[in-house]
Amino acid sequence: MTNHSPTARRIAKTILNGFDAYFADFQNITLGAKARFETASWQAVHHANKERIDIYKTKVMQVLKLVHSVTSKDTTELAIWREARATFAQLIANHNNYEIAETFFNSVFCNQFRHAHIHDSNIFVKSSRAPDEKPLRDYSIYISYSGRDGLEYMIEDILNDYGFSVPWEDLPRDVENICRVLREGPLAALQNEKQLRVDMLESVFYRNKAAYLVGRMMFGGEVIPLLLPCLNNGRGGVFVDTVLHSNDSASIIFSFTRSYFMVDAPIPSRFVRFLSTIMPLKERSELYNSIGFHKHGKTEFYRHILAHMKVSNDKFIIAPGIKGMVMSVFTLPSYPVVFKVIKDKFDRPKTVTEAIVREKYKFVSRSDRVGRMADTQEYSNFIFYRNRFSPELLEELQEVAPSKLEMDDKWVIIKHLYVERRMEPLNLYLQHASDEETREAMEEYGNAIKQLAAANIFPGDMLLKNFGVTRHGRVVFYDYDELCPLTDCHFRKIPEAHTAEQELSDQPWYTVDEADVFPEEFRLFFSGNPTARKAFEDEHSDLYDYRYWQRLQERIRAGHIESAFPYRRAWRFKRQSARKAKGGS
């Protein structure tokens, strides 16, 4: 081991101790998820989610303060940090969670230097070691089951092995439902169920009101997801709500539009590797995000796009669609994300400030996104090669956000930006959609508005251009500068006009406060697209009624938390008991 200065060793040990303390706090909050699910403590679930997200920043700032106290040296000297980085790499050489520890070191450094001096000699731009790509045979995180005694016995064993402290509502019924769906679907071609092997992760994935049992089925060289969402019936019992067994359905469960899971993952990298076997199209960054390690997800994303840049040659361009009033948005055609930069001045009639916009994005990161808002990663001093920018994009950024740019002949550094998954804007999607696709998109659009509202989120600006369509056909909201808690809004009916002049006026003849919302005006979102408007009104005309919104506000204020299902309601099992289904009394 190379000897480094005592100062470098003290700094490195202080940061590693801080990381271990953070990880322990993270795990302790996570471990409480089981009790919150079993006692149906849904308000506590939301509180715990926010608390777990916030502890990262809190712990980083505590550690940085400690770093300053463990040495009399000038901690603004880069040479000290280079030594500390090298020492830290030695200290974590055999650490189970070395990769997340690297990200923690990076965070402490970036807070010290305000995200300047981003270089691999100072922080871990590249990991200190290559990821383990060997096949995962870690029986400490999953249990294997054999079909040798038949599918029913195996499913019953799986369900019994998950130690909920509340009983199953009707275990025989759930086993029967699961076996029926599997035999009609992925196991239809399996002639001998004894050939089936199932691996189930021991840890339960908790999110919102559900507990997910996650595993994989294997036979004939195939690997098929097996996800069992379980719900609490509110009366001291648990039941399996459905069974999901496709890559797409698994991907939607672990979507970038959903809140992070609470799952006891002592070594997150092993869980990510297991999940990759059932969702091979998902990037590691998304999987780390999904289990709550969103800061390391940022690191994984940055490393991945750097690697992509080396094997691609297309240029960053202005993102297709109607330009926003608050953000300049650009993308790389060969990479599935968009980059959003806050403009220095907002187009009229926008009245929000940059500070307000940042707060809105922070609000989203801590909210229950119910599958209808894109997760967003925030970066400072993101470095790009200048020759990869199209002239039109550079011109726009220099015009609308010059304060966010630093440029020379080689580099473009954007001081602050957000990264989101790229989706096709809904207004553009409708331009080429068939009548059937339009109907489905409008049903989804209305569902998105309703599900966000039920989660106490009002989008504010509900224009079609502010929603996107995912590869799974889901409609997702992604423009956050005007959203607010639903309970902050004042929903009103437009007063009737009393004179001809009032009726013909293009200005309101009644007073309008800042929080006032008139749902009747939502019809204006479909101007120029009568097909979309009719499709929307066939399914969601209740959204035009101010009383719909007021009733929802009353439920939220009363403490009610709606259920949001990341799968079709038609897939949910009927809860008739197994005995009654067979004619028993």
CB-based burial label for 59 (10 Å; 0-12, 13-18, 19+): buried
> Could you write out the three-class secondary structure of 86-149?
HHHHHHCCCCCCHHHHHHHHHHHHHHHCCCCCCCCCCCCCCCCCCCCCCCCCCCCCEEEEECCC
DSSP sequence for 523-558: GGGGTT-HHHHHHHHHHHGGGG-HHHHHHHHHHHHT
Nearest CA among 552, 556, 488 for reference residue 516? 488
Report helix, strand or coil for 6.
helix
Q: Quick one: residue 157, left, alpha or beta (phi over 0 = left, psi -120 to 50 = alpha)?
A: alpha
Task: Find out whether 422 and 515 touch, Cβ atoms under 8 Å.
Answer: no
Helix (H), strand (E) at residue 581: helix 578-581
16-38 per-residue burial string, b: 16 or more CB within 10 A, e: under 16: bebbeebbebbeebbebbbebbe
- Pick the catalytic residue from 375, 435, 479, 488: 375
Report helix, strand or coil for 565.
coil
Q: Is 264 a catalytic residue?
A: no
- The strand pairing partners of 205, in sequence order, are 212
Residue 40 CA to residue 176 CA, distance in Å, equals 26
Report helix, strand or coil for 357.
helix
Token readout for 157 is: 């064993």
Single-letter amino acid, residue 464:
L
Strands 457-458 and 467-469: unpaired
CB-based burial label for 513 (10 Å; 0-12, 13-18, 19+): exposed
Q: What is the DSSP letter of 244?
A: B
DSSP sequence for 157-173: HHHHHS--SS-BS-HHH
Token readout for 104 is: 């923690």
Report helix, strand or coil for 373.
strand
- Enumerate the active-site residues: 375
